[in-house]
Structure 1
Amino acid sequence: MKLLLKLFIAFIMMFANIGAVGIGRNERTADDIPAAAGVSSFVSMDVYSKRTLFEENGSAKRYPASLTKTLTAICAIENKDIDSEVVTDKSVCGIEGSSIYLKEGETYTLKALLYGLMLRSGNDAATAVAKYVSGSVENFADLMNKTALKAGAKNSNFTNPHGLHDENHYSTAYDMALISAYALKNETFAEIVKTKSVRVTYKDPSGEEKVKVFINKNKMLSMYDGADGVKTGFTKNSGRCLISSATRGGFSVVTVVLNTYDMWKKSKELLDSSFNNYERVTVAKADEMVAFTDIEGETEKCGLYIKNDVILPLTKEEKKSLKVEKEYPSSLKRPIKKDEPVGKIKIYASNKLIFEEKIYTIIEKK
């Protein structure tokens, strides 16, 4: 009996420095949360081309809640070394809502905080990341808005890194899909959001090394074949929100559902519809000449090309009606700069413009 007692005590001591960050006593899961008032919004988008596949109320103004952290994460990854160390101060501790329970004087790598941000939706982690990257939440919000515009999101405004309610903090399903598609092209971001659980080390205020285990709240990673992200969200004003992503056969789709009670079911339906109704088609290849144009006063011509492959998700009907048009000047005047945008290649399906890409100058034909 004494031997069993000693073994039990040894087992407990072995895990004394490991904290599993799962559901706190006062923290509800997404399934416990009632629907908010108002109409839901959703968008399904091809990550590569950013073509919208399905949409309803996609441009309606909405509060993005913790989906905000998708933008927070990519801002941090793009602007700081993720292996750099962050020392927590008093101001980041005890932020309301979901938490990874940071304490003053602890030391984490930025990457560890990003796992806490994206897997556990820690509002304290979001604040710590923002202050580390930009010095203040206000400065970080400026960075968020600049990055959102870079991703193509033109109808959003972000005032904080966590998504806690603010009347001036808003987005749309379409904008959040653009931000997510932009972020998913970053390997570090993609690695973090597809992780189901992770063990991170940190130092307490005395310098002693400890461990936390973060378990991802995103059930889609386990319930949908090919799922690889991204983020859950909720506030009373936003309702239940979810960004999901999945990849099958090289075809990556991101879906955003806002203020949707059964967000898991709706996200699955959108992903299924996207994969079942669309297939990727290579319309044009990067670095291939798409045209030649005259050079004024010369017999030589200037070659024109596109920098990126044009690979689009198309339905069977769209494939039958596909049309490619090229717009560029009939002649160019020297001096001609290499890689100067001078036109566009436009892709039509069923007489509707579905995609366009810039055409650039390359070298004169010899």
Structure 2
Amino acid sequence: MKGFRNLLVTVALAIPFTGHALDVVAKSAIIIDATTGKVLWAKDAETPRYPASTTKIMTGLLLIENRLPTDIITAPGDVMNVKEASMHLKPFERVSARDMLYALMLRSANDGCYAVACDIAGSVPKFAQMMNERARQIGCTHTHFDNPNGLNDPLHYTSAHDLARIAREAMKRPEFREVVRTYKKSISRSINSKDCTMVNHNKWLPKDPTADGIKTGYTVPAGHCYVGSATRNGYRVITVVMNSPHWQQDHQNMLKWAFDGYARLPLVQKDSEVGTPPVLGGVKDKVAVATVESVDSLVSRAKLPPNGQPPMRTEFAEPLRAPIKRGQVVGTLVVTDPEGFEQRVPIAATEDVAEATLLPSPGKGSGNFAMLGGALVLGGIVFRGRARRSRYSTQAVRPRSS
């Protein structure tokens, strides 16, 4: 516990707070912590808007999730009918999934998106269904996709917050991160071999050495849109601007605000003991549990605590029953940072708890009595365990490093 407090003091003293107002002209915008998804700042971030080519973040994510890098994407016979095509695919042209991802995210190839949709789902409408289902899984609440490329359609929209959620999910994939931080890439094509250099439309990348993506977008109804990512001070933030006449300035202002005003705050270390919940039917009546991963959060420098521990509680879906193995995940720790943001992390047993066995009895009568007595005792444990359950689900705990 002493080391935990010293760690908080070090963070608080080493990074002085330098706050400033955030000036953003975009109609909608948001900044999130890429690690936790915590919203650091938002402006009208739940309003549905046209996303233009930032749509391709979802298309790229589905390409990664449904095809191997070496799989071949074959362009449909009608690929040349796609509006505003930039890859100039020929009918039945073959491109690897890896190279197609570069074409989507760097050159923003609408015809490449069409080829991907038809290859994965058989048609654009079916691929749009996949996009919408994946958006729901990610947690999007103001999103409906109608095509894979972002060309304007009244039924094709998302919010700044949902777009940040999608980007955060995509950035969990190392292959996606590698692509979107690339400014220029040569790909292999089976037909149009003279047009193989993909140059990123993201003009911010060469301006900022900390930038590592993600995607630009523009149509007249959508205006200029941008989903950006940058890593500084050991952490990454994701920014979204929608319908901005000055997207680069907005993005720059948002990065400065986030990195000047926030710091990573360690909350709980890995392997910290956080409780001893009761166990039913075991040789022990309780078991020590500890975190299986560390917990930290981006917190405003103005709210960094000088010392102490964050509020936390343990939660268990049901009473714990023996046998329990060391390392077995048995519940959840809910940790709250100084700004009220909650994180949930698994907790596991730090020891084995064997199942209790009834002692054999020498005689028939006494055997029946022993079994009856054992049943009564176990019944009492079940009753007490259930009575304790609600207390354990909300009980504050003090972590102890093991």
Q: TM-score range by the shorter chain?
A: 0.7 to 0.9
Deviation per CA, 1:175-199, whole angstroms, max 9, x where unpaired?
1001101111100000010000011
Q: Summarize the alignment of residues 62-211 of structure 1 with structure 2, pairs less than 5 Å apart.
A: 62-204=49-191, 210=194
- Could you say which residue in structure 2 is the equivalent of 1:237? 221
Matched, 1:315 2:304: no
- Could you say which residue in structure 1 is the equivalent of 2:337? 348
| Cα distance change, pair 307–74 in 1 and its aligned pair in 2 (3 A) | farther
Deviation at 1:123, TM superposition (A): 0.7
Q: Distance in 2 between matches of 1:250 and 1:233?
A: 28
- Could you say which residue in structure 1 is the equivalent of 2:379? none
Instruction: Structure 1 unaligned segments of length 5 or more: list them.
Output: 1-37
Q: Distance in 1 between matches of 2:258 and 2:220?
A: 30
- Could you say which residue in structure 1 is the equivalent of 2:6? none
Deviation at 1:65, TM superposition (A): 1.1
How high is the TM-score relative to the length of structure 1? 0.81
Matched, 1:224 2:213: no
* Contact 2:267-2:310 within 8 A present in 1 as well: no
Deviation at 1:249, TM superposition (A): 3.4
- Could you say which residue in structure 1 is the equivalent of 2:390? none
| Cα distance change, pair 103–327 in 1 and its aligned pair in 2 (3 A) | same
Aligned residue-pair number: 324
How high is the TM-score relative to the length of structure 2? 0.75
| Cα distance change, pair 51–341 in 1 and its aligned pair in 2 (3 A) | farther
| Cα distance change, pair 263–293 in 1 and its aligned pair in 2 (3 A) | same
1:41 to 17, 28, 53: 28
Deviation at 1:340, TM superposition (A): 5.2
Deviation per CA, 1:274-293, whole angstroms, max 9, x where unpaired?
11111112212345432221
- Could you say which residue in structure 2 is the equivalent of 1:257? 241
* Contact 1:283-1:310 within 8 A present in 2 as well: yes
| Cα distance change, pair 214–344 in 1 and its aligned pair in 2 (3 A) | same
Q: Which has the higher Rg, Structure 1 or Structure 2?
A: 2
Q: Distance in 1 between matches of 2:69 and 2:321?
A: 46
Deviation per CA, 1:44-103, whole angstroms, max 9, x where unpaired?
111011111111001111111111100100111011112111221222224112521111
Specify the code of the residue in structure 2 equivalent to 1:312: S
Deviation at 1:318, TM superposition (A): 2.1
Specify the code of the residue in structure 2 equivalent to 1:234: Y
* Contact 1:288-1:305 within 8 A present in 2 as well: yes
| Cα distance change, pair 100–348 in 1 and its aligned pair in 2 (3 A) | same
Deviation at 1:142, TM superposition (A): 1.9
Deviation per CA, 1:134-162, whole angstroms, max 9, x where unpaired?
22212211221222223222221112111
- Could you say which residue in structure 2 is the equivalent of 1:30? none
CA RMSD in angstroms comes to 2.4
* Contact 1:98-1:120 within 8 A present in 2 as well: no
2:288 to 299, 303, 315: 303
- Could you say which residue in structure 2 is the equivalent of 1:35? none
Higher strand share: 1
Identity %: 29
Deviation per CA, 1:249-290, whole angstroms, max 9, x where unpaired?
321111000011100110111011111111112212345432
Deviation at 1:210, TM superposition (A): 5.0
- SS of alignment partner, residue 337 of structure 2: strand
Specify the code of the residue in structure 1 equivalent to 2:298: P
